[in-house]
Structure 1
């Protein structure tokens, strides 16, 4: 039995409104592509984003989380610092004569394969110059990260440690208390769930 056309329209509108963050991001990308911040570009970007949501609807992503401002600021600050340091490192490496970096693909087993946390971790890893996620497996939580210079990145174990520390910051900023307990990640300002009170 099909839905009444009016109910279907209301359902579609509610679905679009619920996806306002994606619409805002798509509109921002549109404005950045045009390079001109104007009301016309913002409105055109928003309308185009709504059209994309209607024509190519995405399945809802279920994520149980909790936003924490303090850990989020730590995550953002550390990301900016990593971005600056890696940018200078890659630029210096490009200017070094006769230096050939030894690249490698490192497999990292994440603690939590949830779509949202895996995606945030993979995207932040890719945005740092000198590293690129070439594959992410949502069922197993495996991330394959290509590193431009494995030796200066601390070797295979150093890369794995850095990615797991990034994932921990992501979880502390966005994951629920239950997820933190399952992943044995210290809660902000507290102990891990497995630590016993002395």
Structure 2
């Protein structure tokens, strides 16, 4: 049985969606009259009740420096991606070779998942084609992929984008999880590197 505080929190989480639907309705009609607001509010209620979706938990945390870094890098990526796609389109030697790349995010926030998908899709050259919300995984269609190294480079780029978003706008829980998982990833990589080094030494007849 939900408590009064939980019901209030769930209601407040629906407010951004409600206001967003009203704004979208006004933009579609190109009118900001009272009648448009009223009909938009009525439509928002119908959509919110008839097509209910789980509320997205917002961290309500903003780091100004990391926000500047995030938006600056996003703008740079958009410009760079536009130039790269234009070069491909004009190149007579271009051979289409695309790929569907799965990127498993390290956080479990719907907000971070959504913002990472949007940020990646608005950069020319890649677009989200599917989302696995349970596993926090994005599936993206990527242009001009010829080698496995390019796939891994793209995946690292998306994870770096996720990190910038978490540091700028994510909750404290998102930040802690990101740091914890990243630390585990580094430990696994270090262990793998040590194992590979030991194997190479054994092959050369060295002592481990």
5+ long unaligned stretches in structure 1: 1-10, 186-191, 193-198
Please give the residue correspondences for 1:35-114 in structure 2 after superposition, counting only pairs within 5 Å.
Answer: 36-39=30-33, 40-62=35-57, 64=59, 66-114=61-109
Task: Give the superposition deviation at 1:167.
Answer: 0.3
In structure 1, distance between residues paired with 2:20 and 2:122: 17
Question: Cα 1:71–1:170, aligned 2, differ >3 Å: closer, same or farther?
Answer: same
C-alpha change, 1:160 and 1:15, in structure 2 (3 Å) is closer
Q: State whether residues 16 and 53 of structure 1, in contact with CA within 8 Å, keep that contact through their aligned partners in structure 2.
A: no
Deviation at 1:131, TM superposition (A): 0.5
CA contact (8 A) 1:63 1:116 kept: yes
- Relative distance call for 1:184 and 1:17 in structure 2 (3 A) is closer
* Aligned mates of 2:176, 2:77 — CA distance in 1: 27
1:98 CA displacement: 4.7
Given the superposition, is the C-alpha separation of residues 54 and 137 from structure 1 closer, same or farther in structure 2, using an over 3 Å criterion?
A: closer
Kept after mapping to 2: 8 A contact 1:64/1:176: yes
TM-score under structure 1 length normalisation: 0.70
Paired residue secondary structure (2:101)? strand
Segments of 5+ residues of structure 2 without an aligned counterpart are 1-6, 184-208
CA RMSD between the two structures: 3.0
CA 1:16–1:176 in 2, change beyond 3 Å: closer, same or farther? closer
Deviations 1:39-83 (A, max 9, x none): 254554344223322333333334555232332232223222222
Cα distance in structure 2, aligned partners of 1:62 and 1:140: 17
Give the drift of 1:139.
Answer: 2.8
Say whether 1:26 aligns with 2:42.
Answer: no
Alignment of structure 1 residues 48-197 onto 2, 5 Å:
48-62=43-57, 64=59, 66-150=61-145, 155-184=150-179
Taking structure 1 as reference, are residues 33 and 88 closer, same or farther at Cα in structure 2, changes over 3 Å only?
farther
CA contact (8 A) 1:16 1:50 kept: no
1:15 deviates by 6.3
When the two structures are aligned, how many residues end up with a matched partner?
173
**For 2:152 and 2:176, how far apart are their aligned partners in 1?**
24
Aligned-pair CA distance for 1:121: 1.0
Structure 2 distance, partners of 1:42, 1:77, is 34
CA distance in 2 between partners of 1:88 and 1:24 (Å): 36
Secondary structure, aligned partner of 2:61: coil
Check conservation: 1:133, 1:146, Cα contact below 8 A: yes
Please identify, of 93-102 and 56-65, the stretch whose mean Cα deviation from structure 2 is larger.
56-65
- Decide which structure has greater helix share: 2
